[in-house]
Amino acid sequence: MAQTLPSGAARAAQSPKPRQRYRLYISAVSPVSSRAVVNARRFFDRYLPGAHTLEVLDISSNVEAARADQVIASPTLLRVFPEPQRRFIGDMSNTESLRMALGLKAGEVS
């Protein structure tokens, strides 16, 4: 018996929404970086629950990655996927600015 495969549109509808990927560069000894980690996790749990991954990297241990991502300040949040890349520098406490910098619409919760 022949098996019918779903069309491209049907496959897209069946597959889960792609997870957004973020990278947060911090300085492990900085209180501002500690606040940035807590604030970023809280932000993503609110605005993109289950639809994101957040990788936290200490710049001193990941110099080459920071150089490749052109990080010049700490803490820096980088949206890796989807493109275009977006970055936000600071302790991530201003959720409105962060939401706008990352291109999330007001009230948008995944």
Architecture per CATH, domain 18-101, reads as 3-Layer(aba) Sandwich (3.40)
Confidence of residue 102 (pLDDT cuts 50, 70, 90): confident
pLDDT at res. 44: 93
**Domain extents for the chain?**
18-101
Which pairs count as long-range contacts for 56-63, CB under 8 Å and 24+ apart, including other chains?
56/24, 56/26, 57/23, 57/24, 57/25, 57/26, 58/25, 58/26, 58/27, 58/28, 59/25, 59/26, 59/27, 60/27, 60/28, 61/28, 62/25
pLDDT of 9 strictly over 70:
no
pTM above threshold 0.85: no
pLDDT at res. 76: 95
Q: What is the pLDDT of residues 80-98, one digit of tens each?
A: 998 888 889 999 999 998 8
Q: What is the pLDDT of residues 14-59, one digit of tens each?
A: 445 668 999 999 998 899 999 999 999 999 999 999 899 999 999 9
- Residue 15, token pair as written in the block: 């597959």
